[in-house]
Each structure stands twice: as C-alpha cells, then as structure tokens.
Amino acid sequence: MENLHLVFPEIFLSLSIMFLLILGVFKNNSSKLIQNISLIILLITAVITFNETISVSGEKLFNESVIIDYLSSFMKIITLLAAFLVLIISSAYLKTFKIFKIEYPILILSSVLGMMIMISSNDLIVFYMGLELQSLALYVLATFNRDNIKSSEAGLKYFVLSALSSGLLLYGCSLIYGFTGSTNFDVIATKLNSNEYALTFGIVFILVGLAFKISAVPFHMWAPDVYEGSPTSVTLFFTMVPKIAALSVFIRFLYVPFSNLIDQWQMILIFLSIASMLFGAVAAIGQTNLKRLVAYSSIGHVGYALAGLATGTNDGIQSSVIYITIYVLMNLGLFSCLLMMKRNNEYYENIDDLSGLSKNHPMLSLSLLIILFSLAGIPPLAGFFAKFYVFKTVIEQSMYFLAVVGLLSTVIAAFYYLRLIKIMYFDEEKEKYDTDHSIWLKFSLTASTLLILIYFIFPSQLIEVVSKINIIQ
C-alpha cells in the first residue's frame, strides 16, 4: 500500500467539496453555513498538510506521478492560508452585491484543490489536470457577479485566452512526450540529454502556457481586463493564490525535467522577467482604476519572482518563494484597504477616490502608505527584503544586467506608488467612507501592515523556513 496519508489533504478537501455541494443543494439559504464550513475546511486542510507532509522530503506516489516534498508542503500551506483569508474578508463585499451564494466558497475550494494538485504534480498529465481544475473554477469566479457586464466580459475573456494558452501548453506537453516517451518528470529528465530542437520547442510552448497563467509579459494581456472586471474579492484571489501555484509549477518544471537544459530556458526566463518588470512599471503609470493598477503592479512583481528563478540555483528558488510570500502579504493588505473603500453600499475603486484619505481615515491611509512603500521596495519594509534576496541571488550569478534593469524599474514603479500616496496625503479630502467593517477585514489589514512593518526585526525566520527547499540536489 502506498503512503496514502501523504495525500490526505487533497482527499479531505475533495470529499469536503462534494459534501458541501450536496449540502448546498438540499438545504435552503445555506450560504452562510457553507461559507463557515469552508473556512474550517481550509484551516483543517492546512493543519493536515502541516502535520502529514511538512517533514517529508521527496516522497513519490501513484507511479511517481505525485511528489510530496518541502516545496509542495510549504506552497500548499501558503495557498490554503491565502485562500482562507480571501474567503473570510470577502463576505461583506459579496453581500453588498447580493452574490453571497453557496457556489462562491465551493468554487474557491475547488480551485484550491486544483492548485494543490498542480503544486504536487510530478507528471505532465497530473499537472494538466490540476491546472484545468483550478482554471475552470476561476473562469466561473471571474463572472461571479453575473449581472455586471464587466464581470461577464472578464470571465469570457479569461476563458477564451486561457483555453488558448492551455492549448499551447498541451502542444508543448505532447511534443515532449513524443520525444521522450514519457510524461513523468523524472523520466523526462533522464532522457533529455540529447540536443533535440523539438524538445526546445516543447519547453518554449510549456513556458508560454505557464507565463500566461502567472501573467508574465508578453502573455499578460488578459490580466488588467480580468482583474478590473471581476468582483474585487475575486481579483484579490487572482492576484495571490494562482500565482503561488503557478510559481511552484514553474520551479518544478524548470528544475526537475529540464534542469539540464538551463541554457535553453534561462534566456527565456530572463526575458520574461525583464519584460514583466519594465512593462509592469511603465504601464501602471497611466492607470486610473485601482484594480487595473494592481494588475500591472502584479505583473511587475511576477517579474521579480521570475528573476530569482532565472538564476538556476537553490538560493534563487528560495528567494522567489520568499518574494511571492511577501508579495501575497502585501497584496492582502492592499486589497483589505480596497475593500474598506465603501460608502452607502457602493465600492469605490478609482484612484481619485483615494483623494485626501489621510484626513478622514488616518489609520487606513497610514496602513496603505506602509503597504505602498513596501510594494515600492523602500527599506526597511518587507517589500525591500523580498527584492533584496532576489537581487542577491541574481548578482551572485553575475547577471548584472538583470539586476540593474530590475532595480531601475523599481524606481519607475516607485513613481506610481508615490502617486497613490500623493493622492492620499497631499490632495483635498472627499466624503468619508463607511467605517463599520467586519472584524476580519480589520484584522487582515492590521496584521499584514504590522508584519510588513516589523519584518525587518526578524528577517531570519522566513529565510530559515524557506531554506529547507532543496530542488537541485
């Protein structure tokens, strides 16, 4: 018998989803109940993941098609916690738009399940299965506010473009299968040593598909529209959780089957990284909608995370993981602020709506100030350390061009973060926003702000946790 307990988290989560579906069908007005159960399920899954798999190093199951190691456990826990926080702070928003339905938590749970499978995959088919599971749930989530034309548009756009990228990805998979005769990552790795051009094509196609999922330039076009159109709570989910999963798949893909072909994919990754950093910084300057701006900023941040991956070292992988963790934290705080900008049952999401926020809501704007400076990467806030670790590994590999371009684009990016701060602090105030926010919203804002602020006192902890990730033996 295989070590089934290692996939307990996934088993538990899928059984719970089925149970919730049945419960939701048979019980009327059960959306609040299902929301609460889903929260508990996410927490329990995180605890199970922690208990069962955190100390496991590189166990493989089901004909070696699933791998459980430290990277997968860590990423799964982050995914689960992020999903938990998204779910818990989005209820007020959903209620305002009267879309507080049973499907919402269930869809989030399903996409999380898909991501967990992606994170653990050690086989092209398992990977694709997880990817599609999460994507299908995300399409529906994007259209969740179905009476809103923008939301429907966002979902449709996401669906069409995502299907295209999945097609490319599958084509890449089939090329690789054709030339190596296997879909298993380890087997592919052993058979890759021959210098086949078609293999390179396969890698390129897969990278394109992945870059699409993680919204790296030049495959980012869907992100601003989808982020803008989707309900804000879903946008929050989009900017955080799928990126964690996509990043870990990136790591797994590049460093397990294709680690010998680093010369082939390193250039691609450097290009993706530089293009994302620069484009994210420049394109965000002209935005007037906060969600669109966040979309471009997240494109930029993905560029930094990919810069760490481009180094081809364990340190680089670790720095990327640290980057994405801190990025998730900052985004959580940013969206908590966005979800607080509500007046008379209406949410405000334009940049001008921040005007003079500091006079009416000093604490909210102070938190946003800290988060924005952190996103801009100004010391001593957490965002600086995230960038610092990435560039430390980048410079170790003497990739000075990447480092200099990356740091220069932080200066460009600083401009639009500063613009937000300027609008909040230097401009005239407008009407006040409501202050009766849910306790969880306040909690997530306070906690993320404080963590960002005091991260510099305990920088070693996160490094220590992440340093157990060893992909390259």
**Using CA of residue 339, residue 342, residue 345, residue 349, what is the dihedral sign?**
negative
Point out which span in 171-179, 257-265, 342-350, 406-414 binds other proteins (CB under 8 A). Answer: 406-414
426 sits near other proteins (criterion: CB under 8 A): yes
Q: Which of 157, 191, 392, 468 binds other proteins (CB under 8 A)?
A: 392
Backbone angles phi, psi at 313, to 5 degrees: -125, 165
DSSP code at position 284: H
Q: Do 216 and 275 contact (CB within 8 A), yes or no?
A: yes
Q: Do 448 and 338 contact (CB within 8 A), yes or no?
A: no
Q: Which of 11, 47, 125, 408 binds other proteins (CB under 8 A)?
A: 408
Torsion angle of alpha carbons 84, 88, 90, 91, nearest 10°? 140
Q: Which of 93, 128, 250, 391 binds other proteins (CB under 8 A)?
A: 391
401 sits near other proteins (criterion: CB under 8 A): no
User: Which DSSP string corresponds to 230-283?
Assistant: S-HHHHHHHHHHHHHHHHHHHHHHHHTTTGGGHHHHHHHHHHHHHHHHHHHHHH
- Residues in 207-246 that interact with other proteins by CB under 8 A: none
Q: Which of 29, 345, 460, 473 binds other proteins (CB under 8 A)?
A: 460
Number of residues that bind other proteins (CB under 8 A): 29
Classify strands 59-61 and 66-68 as parallel, antiparallel or unpaired: antiparallel
CA–CA dist 389, 398 (Å, integer): 14
Q: Which of 383, 265, 376 is nearest to 324 (CA)?
A: 383
Point out which span in 28-36, 56-64, 118-126, 412-420 binds other proteins (CB under 8 A). Answer: 412-420
C-beta closer to other proteins: residue 220 or 361: 361
Point out which span in 98-106, 115-123, 170-178, 385-393 binds other proteins (CB under 8 A). Answer: 385-393
Write out the two tokens for 439. Answer: 């306790």
415 sits near other proteins (criterion: CB under 8 A): yes
CA–CA dist 26, 139 (Å, integer): 25
Other C-beta atoms closer than 10 Å to the C-beta of 164 total 15
E strands present in 273-394: 342-343, 346-347
C-beta closer to other proteins: residue 58 or 380: 380
CB of 464 to other proteins, least distance (A): 7
C-beta closer to other proteins: residue 144 or 384: 384
CA–CA dist 45, 11 (Å, integer): 10
Backbone angles phi, psi at 335, to 5 degrees: -75, -30
Do you know the residue count of the chain? 473
CB of 135 to other proteins, least distance (A): 37
373 sits near other proteins (criterion: CB under 8 A): yes
181 sits near other proteins (criterion: CB under 8 A): no
Point out which span in 112-120, 233-241, 342-350, 395-403 binds other proteins (CB under 8 A). Answer: 395-403
Q: Which of 400, 429, 431, 450 binds other proteins (CB under 8 A)?
A: 400
Point out which span in 17-25, 69-77, 258-266, 402-410 binds other proteins (CB under 8 A). Answer: 402-410
Q: Do 384 and 377 contact (CB within 8 A), yes or no?
A: yes
Q: Which of 101, 380, 446, 453 binds other proteins (CB under 8 A)?
A: 380
Q: Which of 170, 378, 451, 453 binds other proteins (CB under 8 A)?
A: 378
Binding site for other proteins (CB under 8 A): 373, 378-380, 384, 388, 391-392, 395-396, 400, 403-404, 407-408, 410-411, 414-415, 418, 421-422, 425-426, 456, 459-460, 463-464
